């Protein structure tokens, strides 16, 4: 047993990837789902094991094949990603429990083995993105996750053929983003001769004056990662991809895919780039901050005009990613802390919202639009109230975890005396009320007196787990804040200071 | 690099877009391989006559990247095939017309 535990950092990535190969050949949806669940339960146990060994021994660097870091590929589990690792592991388990019924109704039964296989591939590769400490290895995981998610999105073609166009657009834009990232890696490798993140930081100090090739390389890498994490204005692939994918798939990606890449994005920014303070400040203040503010407004305003609820949520994701990058663009501990808090909270909120909307989608057997859900608050009360809780949290009502995020973002802005930005963020929160209110109005205040129908516990229990955790972390926010402060401290310290 | 990117952006045909993507990726691969070249360098084989050799690591990286590129193209073409089955066209402007009609 001990041998397995020693290799836990590798196993959390390798296990889903290996099982994916087996699941692809299983024709029975039930058995495929069961194997997936067992794998993910082991995944959660391994993550807990990682947490305990992190809390007793500190950061873990796992070297593949015992090759020492500059030569071999290594994984790093430190304060930055331990929190996300736990959240990721727990969330994918809940999402998979939820996914069974959704897959049954949205995907052909004979395809479901392959669907679970792609699902596991996406999980394994996203976990790789979270853990990897090697810039080229990241590219490989980025592409595995992109290809598996594109295939999953195109499975949505069973219900709506637009899914194919969404998948194709994502493929093209995603591949351009990934190739930009590789160009950046090429420049960085040419200058430093290393691909390992820790070694890269050390090697870059010899160019502390700053070299054009390094700045070019870093810019390519950052732009590539911004495409992948859908930072405005490179977000165009995201709304169609999330809204036409099968509901379970949008849940997984809306909650976790962009977040995993954002974690790596801030690693590059704050760990590797911290030696080039001038360039970093230039990038944060004149590029990331304005783009985040525009993203918040554009995302929110487009969301207000959407009829299709999955599209509405996808545009609201653009705005929420804007909040996260806004927090990260404040170059001090409080800002980075707020960014991490919002990553955790938004993953729960958006995951919950997409789950609830996904249930409405399979019971409607059609697109979920504002018109079609009229009165569904009475018809599906259990799901609708969970949706209400997640939505209130998205707006940032007290007692929900969304409030905690907003609180920390405002606090960080206040400490740094960015009062104009505070006003803008407050305004955008008010705008977010509009689009969410439209949903609530249709759901609950309708004259169509539907009788409550019986809902499927296999679907509403996972949704309510998320909804309850949203309230729990809204009241007892200390665990999320602790993880975030560990993350922000180790990120700021991670660079050479 | 730029010509590949240009094809992706300007071309209306989905297959041409994938070709553009392949050109774009291949040129990046060549860029990587060119980094490894050392003047008078040989293959990295240990023998008594040569002690100058090219860096093999970029080649290995690109081997991985080629596999990724092939997978991307294959998946892209598979999706284009499905698009053709569903829409009867692989031209972006024609599909947009169909979409517009559907929305009205």
Query: How much is the average pLDDT of A330-353?
Result: 87
Q: What is the mean pLDDT of residues A456-471?
A: 86
Q: Which residue of A lies nearest to B92 if distances are taken between CA atoms?
A: A165
Q: What proportion of chain A, given as a percentage, has pLDDT over 90?
A: 5
Answer yes or no: do A151 and B31 touch at CB < 8 A. Answer: no
Fold (CATH) for B2-103: Helix Hairpins (1.10.287)
Q: Which of B5, B68, B76 sits opposite A171 (nearest CB)?
A: B76
Cα A110 from Cα A96, distance rounded (Å): 18
Q: pLDDT tens for residues A181-192?
A: 999 988 888 888
Please provide residue A327's backbone torsions phi and psi, each rounded to the nearest 5 degrees.
-65, -40
Using CB atoms, pick whichever of B1, B75, B95 lies closest to residue A147.
Answer: B75
pLDDT above 70 (res A460): yes
Q: Does the structure show a pLDDT above 60 at A412?
A: yes
In tens, the pLDDT along A23-34 reads 888 888 888 888
User: What element of type H or E holds A493?
Assistant: helix A478-494
Query: Tokens 């300007």 appear where?
Result: B10
Complex ipTM: 0.90
Q: Which of A161, A173, A180, A367 to mutate to test the interface with B (most CBs of B within 10 A)?
A: A161
Residue of chain A with shortest Cα separation from B72: A147
Instruction: Tell me the pLDDT band of A496, cut-offs 50, 70 and 90.
Output: very low
Under an 8 A CB cutoff, do A168 and B65 touch?
no
Which residue in the set A140, A171, A182 is minimally distant from B75, CB to CB? A171
Q: CB–CB of A199/A70 below 8 Å?
A: yes
Classified as helix, coil or strand, A107 is coil
Model confidence over B32-90: pLDDT tens digits? 888 877 777 777 777 777 677 777 888 888 888 899 899 999 999 999 998 888 888 88
Query: Has residue A210 got a pLDDT over 70?
Result: no
Among B6, B33, B79, pick the best mutation site for testing chain A contact (most A Cβ within 10 A).
B79
Whose structure tokens read 């938004």?
Answer: A346
Tell whether the model's pLDDT for residue A494 goes beyond 60: no
Nearest chain A Cα to B102, which residue?
A: A162
Mean pLDDT throughout B97-101? 81
A164/B83 CB distance under 8 A: yes
Give the C-alpha distances (Å, rounded to integers) separating A22 from A18, A25, A354. Answer: 7, 6, 28
For the segment A404-425, the average pLDDT, to the nearest whole number, is 86
Looking at the complex, does the CB of residue B82 fall below 8 Å from at least one CB of chain A?
yes
Query: Which backbone phi and psi does A195 adopt, to 5 degrees?
Result: -120, -10
Please give the average per-residue pLDDT across A334-354, as a whole number. 88
> pLDDT digits over A143-179, tens only?
999 999 999 888 887 777 888 888 898 999 999 999 9
Distance of alpha carbon A145 from alpha carbon B56, whole angstroms: 27
Average pLDDT across chain A, whole number? 85
- Which of the 8 DSSP states describes residue A155? G
Contacts of A165 in chain B (CB under 8 A): 83, 95, 99
Interface residue B8 vs chain A (CB under 8 A): yes
Nearest Cα neighbor of B55 from A425, A32, A194, A413 is: A194
Domain boundaries, chain A: 290-497
Local confidence band at B9 (pLDDT 50, 70, 90 cut-offs) = confident
Judge contact between A59 and A24, C-beta under 8 A: no
Which chain A residue has the Cα nearest residue B5? A176
- Find the closest chain A residue to B64 by CA distance: A140
Question: Does the CA dihedral A283-A197-A234-A421 come out positive or negative?
Answer: negative
- A186–B99: do the CB atoms touch at under 8 Å? no
pLDDT of res. A391 = 87
Residues of A with CB under 8 A from a CB of B: 136, 139-140, 143, 147, 150-151, 154, 157, 161-162, 164-165, 167-168, 171-172, 175-176, 178-179, 182-183, 186, 189-190, 195
Tokens of A479: 């665990």
The pLDDT value given to residue B73 = 92
Q: What share of chain A is helix, strand, coil (3-state, %, to 5)?
A: 80, 5, 15
A359 with A463: CB under 8 angstroms? yes
pLDDT in tens, A364-400: 777 777 777 777 777 888 888 888 888 888 888 888 8
Band of pLDDT at residue A495, cut at 50, 70 and 90: very low
Q: How far is CA A90 from CA A46, A79, A114, A127, A326, in A?
A: 11, 18, 23, 12, 27
Q: Which of B63, B77, B61, B36 is nearest to A195 (CA)?
A: B61
pLDDT of the residue at A497: 39
Identify which of B17, B25, B82 has the shortest CB distance to residue A179: B25
Cα A226 to chain centroid, rounded: 13
**Of B14, B65, B99, which is closest to A182 when you measure between CB atoms?**
B65
Distance from CA of A14 to the nearest CA of B (A): 18
CA distance B47 to chain A (A): 22
Size of interface A-B (CB pairs under 8 A): 71
B65 to chain A, any CB pair closer than 8 A? The answer is yes
For residues A79 and A96, the model is more confident at A96
A160: tokens are 């709506």
B83 shares contact with chain A (CB less than 8 Å): yes
**A365: Cβ–Cβ under 8 A, 6 or more apart, which residues?**
A105
Please check whether residue B75 touches A, CB under 8 A. yes
């Amino acid at each position: 047993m001990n041998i397995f535990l020693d290799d836990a950092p590798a196993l959390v990535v390798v296990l889903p990837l290996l099982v994916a190969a087996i699941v692809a050949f299983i024709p029975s949806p039930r058995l495929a789902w069961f194997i997936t669940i067992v794998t993910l339960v082991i995944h959660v146990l391994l993550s807990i094991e990682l947490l305990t060994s992190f809390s007793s021994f500190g950061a873990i660097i796992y070297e593949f094949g015992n090759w020492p870091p500059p030569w071999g590929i290594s994984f790093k589990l430190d304060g930055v990603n331990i929190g996300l690792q736990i959240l990721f592991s727990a969330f994918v388990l809940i999402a998979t429990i939820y996914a069974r019924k959704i897959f049954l109704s949205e995907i052909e039964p004979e395809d479901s083995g392959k669907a679970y296989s792609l699902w596991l591939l996406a999980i394994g590769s996203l976990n790789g993105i979270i853990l990897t400490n090697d810039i080229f290895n990241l590219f490989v995981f980025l592409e595995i996750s992109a290809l598996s998610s594109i295939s999953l999105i195109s499975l949505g073609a069973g219900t709506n053929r637009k899914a194919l166009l969404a998948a194709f657009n994502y493929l093209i834009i995603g591949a351009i983003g990934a190739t930009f990232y590789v160009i950046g890696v090429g420049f960085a490798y040419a200058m430093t001769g290393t691909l390992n993140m820790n070694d890269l930081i050390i090697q870059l100090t010899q160019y502390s004056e700053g070299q054009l090739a390094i700045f070019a390389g870093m810019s390519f890498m950052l732009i590539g990662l911004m495409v992948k994490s859908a930072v405005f204005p490179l977000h165009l692939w995201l709304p169609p991809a999330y809204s036409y994918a099968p509901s379970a798939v949008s849940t997984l990606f809306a909650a976790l895919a962009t977040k995993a890449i954002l974690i790596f994005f801030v690693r590059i920014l704050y760990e590797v780039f911290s030696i080039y303070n001038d360039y970093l400040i230039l990038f944060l203040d004149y590029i990331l901050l304005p783009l985040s503010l525009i993203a918040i407004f554009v995302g929110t305003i487009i969301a207000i005009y959407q009829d299709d609820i999955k599209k509405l949520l996808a545009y609201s994701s653009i705005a929420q990613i804007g909040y996260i990058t806004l927090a990260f663009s404040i170059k001090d501990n409080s800002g980075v802390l707020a960014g991490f808090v919002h990553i955790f909270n938004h993953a729960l909120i958006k995951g919950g919202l997409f789950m609830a909307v996904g249930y409405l989608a399979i019971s409607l057997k059609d697109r979920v639009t504002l018109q079609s859900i009229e009165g569904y608050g009475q018809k599906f009360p259990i799901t609708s109230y969970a949706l209400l809780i997640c939505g209130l949290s998205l707006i940032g009502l007290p007692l929900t975890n969304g409030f905690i995020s907003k609180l920390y973002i405002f606090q960080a802005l206040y400490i740094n005396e960015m009062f104009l930005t505070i006003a803008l963020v407050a305004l955008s929160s008010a705008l977010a009320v509009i689009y969410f209110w439209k949903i609530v109005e249709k759901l609950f205040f309708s004259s169509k007196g539907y009788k409550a129908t019986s809902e499927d516990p296999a679907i509403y229990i996972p949704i309510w787990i998320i909804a309850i955790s949203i309230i729990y972390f809204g009241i007892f926010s200390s665990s999320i804040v602790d993880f975030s402060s560990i993350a922000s401290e180790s990120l700021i310290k991670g660079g050479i200071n | 690099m730029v010509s590949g990117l240009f094809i992706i952006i300007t071309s209306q045909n989905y297959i041409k877009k994938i070709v553009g993507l392949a050109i774009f990726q291949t040129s990046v691969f060549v860029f990587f391989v060119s980094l490894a070249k050392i003047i008078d360098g040989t293959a990295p084989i240990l023998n008594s006559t040569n002690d100058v050799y090219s860096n093999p690591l970029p080649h290995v990286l690109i081997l991985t990247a080629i596999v990724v590129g092939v997978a991307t193209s294959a998946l892209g073409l598979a999706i284009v095939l499905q698009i053709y089955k569903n829409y009867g066209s692989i031209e972006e402007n024609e599909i947009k017309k169909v979409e517009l009609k559907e929305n009205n």
